[in-house]
Amino acid sequence: MFLGGTIGNFIDRVRFGYVVDFISFRLFNKFEFPVFNIADISIVVGTFIILILVLFDRYEI
């Protein structure tokens, strides 16, 4: 997921010179989140998965 999101943002950066962000929403009409895209979601979720795998690794080397 991490690499897929990174490659997706890289392709946008090469094709357009910028990353196309299209998801925007507000929380209770007060707090507006930064605009993001699906590649950004994949990077964040992939990073959390890697973090969990590293932190809870129970195997000895």
Band (pLDDT 50/70/90 cuts) for residue 60 is low
Q: Please tell me the total count of domains within the chain.
A: 1
Gyration radius of the chain's alpha carbons? 16
Q: Show which residues are catalytic.
A: 21, 40
Q: Under 8 Å CB-to-CB from 31, ≥6 apart: which residues?
A: none
Residue pLDDT, tens place only, 40-50:
999 999 999 98
> Per this entry, what is the length of the chain?
61
| Whole-structure pTM value | 0.80
- CA–CA dist 24, 4 (Å, integer): 21
Q: Which tens digits make up the pLDDT trace of 14-53?
A: 999 999 999 988 888 888 888 999 999 999 999 999 899 8
60 within some domain: no
Residue 61 has pLDDT above 80, yes or no: no
Residue 61 resides in a domain: no
Taking CA atoms, 8 is separated from 30, 48, 53, 55, 59, in Å, by 31, 18, 24, 27, 33
Residue span of the structural domain in which 29 resides: 2-55
In a domain, 17, yes or no: yes
